[in-house]
A and B are shown apart, each in its own frame.
Chain A
């Protein structure tokens, strides 16, 4: 196996960071969308949308950053990934479309508001499910021949990815509930607090089951993955567990910023676990970072995007969160 160049490693790290940022930021938006569908109270719905309105567009754009970086730095992996997930990607895009237009359409739709509200909620669920299912399918491995995807359109569909898909729906909903707690006051905050323990327990249950299946059944995913050799990686799920407990403690004592911090820590450790399982593969377990890397002349040209532009993007992303900081009620004045 050839070693990847430094530039390829740089881009692998940038893409990994971008995926994590996307999951943490847009995960909140999607989670709020999922919770949005569980109430019919218009006041709550309005507040929920207000809490994410200034951010969702920028957050979603991280998905484009990921796609574009993958295409630029690892075109072969991009082609395989999107070939393997042809239908899930289609479903995700449909979900994103309905989510995205709902922000603009629901307030001018009159009698159609129910329709766009449903689009917002179901679109959110669809996006979360498909992203979670893709992770599950990757844990199982993706068939590749001659650097092109060699499976069918439904190869990804299997009980295990369905389970991980449900897991991510619950996980994003948990992130969303923690965000609502941070950004709102009064009835909606109480409502979200009441949902946190249930969501945390459900996430724990689903991921626990998924983890045991991955460890024990014929998937052999763990054995084929690198967690077999890197057993120190099993420390990471322990940290995930600690983060979940911290989340519950924060929710119990009603310190508004703690649950979201802990939920994000939980997602970070879960993400690192996957990283240990997959490394050095971009497409488990067939395409490595070195296999898929674009020629260095491309990576060098694109390097400036990562080293100059990306920090600027991070800076103004933080800036926008700063401009719209605080509880949303205070935005009134």
Chain B
């Protein structure tokens, strides 16, 4: 593989987006969780909810800050590295991403300030409203991003006039059938990621015998939500598979590692696909199952990669393993959440320590599933950046040199390593300290620094409202 601006720009894009997507996937669910908890606090007046809210708000603040700064980087990648893509498809992608900035980004950023620092500056009802708007903002954001990405995956509603790509039907572009499958898939992925993380944190405190009432809420809510959502997610995952089969048959063949067309087709459960020899080593296959999964009958002919010109075939290894890792994570979530609820029903959830350990250790399942699913979708659509319309290799900014991208890639990796490393460490520290009460958290901070940011803000307002008696 030669290092040219195209491959380096692809690595850079993949790196930047992989780093970025972790945070929205987490904060989208957390924002909804915070709004829910704040709603519970508002309507029940139970101080336990306030403690849980203040704790997760701090985690949210750090993650959200990292999501914002990496998101700004994302917004500029299109122009810096993919100039031809920006110029040729800008009349479609521009407005979609523009609507994201206008409807979502500003909403989140503005009301996030109130959420973080405005607890005692606005009425309680308005504070709850601000929490809901932040949550709405995160979901709107994902709506436009997925609309845009879905158009790049399966471009519809456009026409090509004199080589220019012109939008023809915005309804089709924004609300295309692919979008209406992929957006729920992403939303559910984000909620599952947060649900598993919250349950995992609860399990951790249970194991350490700390913060028991709060930990119980986290454990019950997290596992309960995951148990309900995971079957829905499996259903939307299935629908996603159907769109891939219909619109991106080469990607489907790559995911299945099906090098030759087969009738009837077997299903490769696990194997080591080898691009050079175009075959699978160590394959475990189920005869006829491939036909059944794709076409619903046991004898259908299924398309292999050999049906496509060599130049139009995607890489196989990443989509093949990415898909299997994603599904594997989904099955773990299914097992943990359903078994957890079974234990809870029998009243043994809090005492079954081996299961609490399992729940604790399953915290990364959502993140891994999101990343591997994203890789499957993005690598599988290669060599196209806009499927069937514009090749990735033709989309790069012409003035870029290998040196430019090598430099920028190095800078991004170094910068992200520094602040990503520390950010993760600070989130870990917050989680380790757990939902302590306001008085424990701030020995002397409020007096000198009343509104100094998440660390003290949430707890400072806590102590103030505690003194002022707004909600205690």
A→B interface (CB under 8 Å): 43, 46, 49-50, 53-55, 57-58, 60-61, 63-65, 67-69, 71-73, 75-76, 78-84, 86-87, 89-90, 93-94, 96-98, 100-101, 103-105, 107-109, 112, 147-153, 294-295, 297-298, 301-302, 305, 309-310, 313, 316-317, 320, 323-324, 328, 331-332
Contact = CB atoms under 8 A, between A and B. Distances in A.
A87 B429 contact: no
Contact of A54 (B114, B407, B430): B114
Given A98-B419, A100-B65, A153-B404, A58 B166 contact: no
Given A71-B79, A97-B69, A108-B455, A149 B397 contact: yes
B101 interface: yes
Interface residues of B, number: 80
7 contacts: A58-B113, A68-B94, A71-B86, A83-B80, A83-B83, A90-B80, A98-B419
Contacts of B86: 71, 75, 78-79, 82
A298 B158 CA distance: 11
Given A55-B113, A61-B109, A79-B90, A105 B80 contact: no
Nearest to A100: B69
B292 interface: no
A305 B95 CA distance: 9
Q: Dominant SS at the B interface?
A: helix
B92 interface: yes
Given A298-B94, A310-B102, A320-B113, A79 B72 contact: no
Contact of B90 (A87, A98, A294): A294
Given A68-B102, A98-B419, A298-B92, A50 B72 contact: no
Interface of B: 61-62, 65-66, 68-73, 75-76, 78-80, 83-84, 86-95, 97-103, 105-107, 109-114, 116-118, 121-122, 164, 166-168, 170, 397-401, 403-404, 407-408, 411-412, 415, 419, 422-423, 426, 429-430, 448-456
Given A81-B79, A97-B415, A147 B90 contact: no
A329 to B, nearest CB: 9
Nearest to B112: A57
Given A54-B118, A79-B87, A153-B404, A72 B422 contact: no
Contacts of A112: 422
Contact of A68 (B88, B98, B113): B98
Given A54-B118, A153-B404, A310-B102, A331 B94 contact: no
